[in-house]
Structure 1
Amino acid sequence: MAGWLRRRPREDPDTVRDRRAGLLMDVVERGWPVCPAAHPVGFGCSCDRVGCPSPGMHPVSFAWQTQASTDPVQVARWLELYPDANFVTATGTGHDVLDVPARAGEIALAVFAEQGIEIGPVASCGPDRTLFFTATRGTPADEDEWWPCELDCHPETLDAHPGLRWHCRGSYVLVPSSQHPSGQPVRWIRGPELPLPDPLRVLDALTDACDTVGAAAADGHWS
């Protein structure tokens, strides 16, 4: 009986649906294209790929780059068709994302606060990563050109970028309303209503924070 009393009551499905829709519309209103993604199912993925390497963290469609939309009507339609879906936002047109280990994100946020530096939206993506949303350094008006960077990260090369990842043209990240495979929700630390900073404005602090975390891990201070 005591265990039953301690259990959290299940949220009303309509409340959950409305909250998810509100979080997605906040993103869409800012011109960030989104599209449906797979969602975690147990220890696996809702897609039909055996041994999916990124369960619940990839788009449903292979045509996600052209499918991603900022149309509220289309997004509402997807929410109706895919009530359990996660959602990703395609980077490199309306925004970029600097993606760092969670510990590095904590260090960088503390530095920004100490120095009084205003930064833009920041999201927690599961227990391991923090996402810093920035203006894009690409040239969205010209589909044949974009700003090149050795830190550019594409979805299929995430394992090669355990430290700082720069999501620009051809990449995507989960957005709040999504469920990380760990079971934790993707959530805002700083909301999407904040202005997007130039990525170079935050890059140095994130690079230094990643170096600090890497050095500490090498010394065995952090696991």
Structure 2
Amino acid sequence: MLCVEESIGVEDAVKVPRQRTQLPLECAVMYAEERHWEVFPGTWLKPGAGTEWCSCGASDCRAPGAHPAREDWAAEATSSGSGARRLWARRPKASVLLPTGRSFDVLDVPESAGFLALARMERRQVPLGPVACTPGRRMLFFVLPGGAAKAPALVRALGWSPSALDLAAHGEHGWVPAPPTRVGGAGAVQWVRHPTRANRWLPDPEEVLSPLAYACAQDPTRP
């Protein structure tokens, strides 16, 4: 059920796989059955007045079609393929959201810094987990659970203040959007490095945080 890929050049040695469109149900079931990740359905986009609106109904929604639909979303999350089928059968257009702090944590950096760090890590053959890119021009690096809690101390040990870098960490009680989730009219979340058997074992945050922090510090878009 993995997405069909056709690689296109992006930056240095980094190539982003071009993926065929998949239904949210297909991807949610794949994440649950093949990766044993927990998934839960979020909001979705609804057409109206010549545009698309978030199903939450808020005209000023900050992430249209790509955020939890209910406050108790954590209780709804499932790592069962049959459970995912039941959830998306009721809401077939719902976004696919992944809880963090359970099977993985996520290090979140600007897209420009992420591609720079990714190219360097690939040249050095640093083991990597899945990597996603959002329409908001952010890159999400999947690491072992506990990475979010370690991140501030690791950044300080490298000589930077955590508040000085545009590097966020999603851990316990958090979540991230997963492909094929669409965010308003900005586009869809996509895999830069798709979940495969080869990256089933996630890296320790120490292995990827140093190049990510360095790339964030060198990012020309950094305020």
TM-score range, shorter chain: 0.7 to 0.9
Q: Which residue of 2 aligns with 1:92?
A: 101
- Describe the shift of the 1:31–1:162 C-alpha distance in structure 2 as closer, same or farther (beyond 3 A): farther
Return the TM-score normalized by structure 2. Answer: 0.74
Aligned length in residues: 187
- Describe the shift of the 1:85–1:167 C-alpha distance in structure 2 as closer, same or farther (beyond 3 A): same
**1:206 aligned to which of 200, 207, 212:** 212
Q: What does the per-residue CA deviation read over 1:112-153, in whole Å, with 9 as the maximum and x for residues that have no partner?
A: 122121211011111511111111117xxxxxxx946549xx
Q: What does the per-residue CA deviation read over 1:33-75, in whole Å, with 9 as the maximum and x for residues that have no partner?
A: 1111112343642102342233222111110112111111111
* Alignment partner of 1:196 is 2:202: yes
Q: What does the per-residue CA deviation read over 1:77-99, in whole Å, with 9 as the maximum and x for residues that have no partner?
A: 12211111111100001100111
* Alignment partner of 1:22 is 2:26: yes
**2:132 aligned to which of 123, 135, 143:** 123
Per-residue deviation, 1:197: 0.8
- Describe the shift of the 1:207–1:182 C-alpha distance in structure 2 as closer, same or farther (beyond 3 A): farther
- Describe the shift of the 1:76–1:50 C-alpha distance in structure 2 as closer, same or farther (beyond 3 A): same
**Letter of the 2:174 counterpart:** S
**Letter of the 2:187 counterpart:** Q
Unaligned 5+ runs, structure 2? 1-19, 154-162
- Describe the shift of the 1:149–1:115 C-alpha distance in structure 2 as closer, same or farther (beyond 3 A): closer
**1:173 aligned to which of 169, 172, 176:** 176
Q: What does the per-residue CA deviation read over 1:169-191, in whole Å, with 9 as the maximum and x for residues that have no partner?
A: 01100011211224422111111
CA distance in 1, matches of 2:185, 2:95: 13
Query: Any idea what SS the aligned residue of 1:136 has?
Result: coil
* Alignment partner of 1:106 is 2:112: no
Query: Any idea what SS the aligned residue of 1:131 has?
Result: strand
Query: Any idea what SS the aligned residue of 2:29 has?
Result: helix
**1:35 aligned to which of 15, 37, 40:** 40
CA distance in 2, matches of 1:16, 1:114: 30
**Letter of the 1:24 counterpart:** A
* Alignment partner of 1:217 is 2:221: yes
User: 1 or 2, which has the higher strand percentage?
Assistant: 2
**Structure whose alpha-carbon radius of gyration is higher:** 1
Q: Is the 8 A contact 1:59 1:87 kept in 2?
A: no
CA distance in 1, matches of 2:104, 2:30: 14
**Letter of the 1:188 counterpart:** W
Q: Is the 8 A contact 1:127 1:182 kept in 2?
A: no
Query: Any idea what SS the aligned residue of 2:40 has?
Result: strand
CA distance in 2, matches of 1:95, 1:179: 22
What's the RMSD between the two structures over aligned residues? Answer: 2.6
Residue identity over aligned pairs, in percent, reads 30
Unaligned 5+ runs, structure 1? 1-14, 139-145, 152-159
- Describe the shift of the 1:115–1:27 C-alpha distance in structure 2 as closer, same or farther (beyond 3 A): same
